[in-house]
Amino acid sequence: MSKTLNQIVSQIQGFGTSHPQLKTVLFGEFAEKLDDQDIEYPAMFFDLTGGSVIEKQITYNMSIFILDRHLVETDGLEILSDTNLIMQDIIAELRNNVNDYEVSTTIPLVYVREYDPDFLAGVQADVTLTTDSLNNRCQIP
């Protein structure tokens, strides 16, 4: 049975909250939240960037960010390396065979550095998830 968007988002949030290194996991637009005092780093942010319906499948495009504070005395390469390892763990969870969706074979990674409002560094992964579409008007809630 295919998962709903709510179920997929909840599952990805679970991957993040169960990761021993991540302290904050947020879904949705997060740019304004980066300087929020309640955010503890390293953090995972993710949001939908698009999607499509193809015959009896639905595709969700998501961007996932793993970010950490980059202090002046901290080596930026070390932050990028650590967040890259966390991202690999999240991708491994997404690719787990028990999920009811397929994950794109190639997942582009972009390494980011933000200097406003905080010194943040990390990695962004653009992921495509494909699952069966209900494609049945009787199944509409």
pLDDT tens across 73-93, in order?
Answer: 567 788 999 999 999 999 999
pLDDT at 139: 56
CATH topology of domain 5-139: Alpha-Beta Plaits (3.30.70)
Phi, psi of 21 (to 5 degrees): -95, -25
- The position carrying tokens 């997060």 is 30
Pick from 62, 61, 78: nearest CA to 70: 78
Half-sphere exposure of 34 (CA within 13 A, CB side): 20
Instruction: Judge contact between 30 and 62, C-beta under 8 A.
Output: no
pLDDT at 136: 61
pTM: 0.88
- The position carrying tokens 């503890």 is 40
pLDDT at 91: 96
pLDDT at 107: 96
At 64, which helix (H) or strand (E)? strand 57-69
What would the two tokens of residue 39 be? 């955010």
Ranges of the chain whose pLDDT falls below 50 = none
Domains of the chain: which residue ranges?
5-139
Per-residue buried b or exposed e for 100-111, using 16+ beta carbons within 10 Å of the residue's own CB = ebeebeebeeee
